[in-house]
Amino acid sequence: MAEPARPMPAAAAARKPPAEVTGWKAALAAAWQGFSEPSALAFRTFLLSLAATLGLCLWYFSPATLAGPMGAFLPRSALDAEGFATRAALHTGHVPPDRPRLILLGTSAVAQSIGTGTLLKDRIEAGTGVAWDVVNLATPQQSPTDQFALAETALASQTAESPLALVAVGFGAQRLRWTTEQTLGFHAMGRLGVAHTWADDEARLLGGTVPARTGFYIPDNWSFVLLNGSEALMRLLLQTPARQDTDQYVHGASMESAARHALIGRETRSGVARMDAYLDQIARLADRVALVPNTRMVLIEETISPALVAEQRLSGPRAELETALAQRGPGRMPPFWPIVAEADLTAADYFDELHVLSGTPQDRVQVALSDRVIAEWNAYDGAPDGN
């Protein structure tokens, strides 16, 4: 027999159904539901956001955009020398020149010896009577293939009607430390977001394997974009470009040590056996540059402390290298400008074994270099001739 229904308590019978949620509470509940549960609106929002992000990346990470004003947001920080060099090379190679240009390639030793380059530019303009652009593309541990890539990128805008482009490449016995394996290893890192044809050809000549290039900036510079991408886009959205610290190599505590001295000395002395290969590589870069109209290449001495030279017995390798360079003849090799010797620097002018102090030591290097550039300009007729 079924149990009879129990009578409902009076309080329960009088309870009303909950009132319908309206206003901001309803909007909040709907938003939470859209984000926490599958919905067509959430999916469409996701797709639109993804498309907008992809479009922003494709637009921003392109040579034309990075060469323009938006490229100022590319460097990650004031210390991102590779980011600043990439942007400067792309800009220089994208904008048709209306004045002579001095393009500097080399390691952090070159970068520190030039600093802001203000004195260098002022003296060159005063001595030649024309306006110049000074483009400093020096970066820490700049590899031989880095120099091929930066030179190709920066000279892309040079034509038969362009004013002189003078490419000054850092040179010295300390560059003998670069082995083939190190060069190929650095090339594979993709630290710069620049052109690859010259550098890839050089890497293949050295026996390396290079990736297939697509002709599109992002896949061809994937490592560089991954490293710089998120911070560059954030700086772009916030409109906060980084300001380069041109004296970054002499800030903070020096990393100089007896072990580092011994390493530089040992690698430089052992590099004497690679001297011919080093000079051959310079000749190949010079041959590339010579094919660009109205362009000349010179070699400039990179700074190295006299104290380190004496301690590690590097006078011999330096003399051998300069003699070997001279013996190849001016027709086969670029001229060598011993600007560090002409600046008459002493050990007291150095922050560490490779980098000069800010101020007067930098000024002396810039004076020596500017004197050489002025003399080169005076020997140059100034008229584009296609050579």
Determine the pLDDT at residue 383. 41
Q: Check residue 35 and give its pLDDT.
A: 65
- Between the alpha carbon of residue 352 and those of residues 109, 128, 182, 303, 347, the distances in Å are 10, 34, 23, 11, 9
Distance between CA 333 and CA 282 in Å, rounded?
8
CA atoms of 384 and 375, how far apart (whole Å): 18
In the block, residue with structure tokens 């820490």: 140
Rounded mean pLDDT, 16-31: 67
Percentage of the chain exceeding pLDDT 70: 90
pLDDT reported for residue 8? 56
Q: In angstroms, rounded to a whole number, what is the distance separating the alpha carbons of residues 306 and 291?
A: 37
- The chain-wide mean pLDDT, for the chain, equals 90
Q: Give the residue from 294, 296, 305 showing the smallest Cα distance to 330.
A: 296
Percent of the chain with pLDDT over 90: 78
Q: Reply yes or no on whether the pLDDT at 31 is more than 50.
A: yes
* Residue-level pLDDT at 20: 61
Of 131, 78, 76, 134, give the one whose Cα is nearest residue 103: 134
Residue with the bigger pLDDT between 7 and 385: it is 7
Question: What is the per-residue pLDDT for 7?
Answer: 58
How far is the C-alpha of 336 from the C-alpha of 82, rounded, in Å? Answer: 26
With bands split at pLDDT 50, 70 and 90, how would you rate the model's confidence at 384?
very low
Closest CA to 71 of 58, 86, 87: 87
What is the pLDDT confidence band of residue 123, given thresholds at 50, 70 and 90? very high
Q: Is the pLDDT of residue 218 over 80?
A: yes
pLDDT at 317: 95
Q: What is the pTM for the complete model shown?
A: 0.86
Non-local CB neighbours of 215 within 8 Å, separated by 6+ positions: none
Tens-digit pLDDT profile for residues 333-367? 999 999 999 999 999 999 999 999 999 999 999 99
Domain 52-379, CATH number (from 3.90.1580.10, 1.10.540.10, 3.40.50.1110, 3.90.1150.10): 3.40.50.1110
pLDDT: which is higher, 15 or 44? 44
pLDDT of residue 14: 52
Helix and strand numbers, DSSP H then E, in the chain: 18, 5
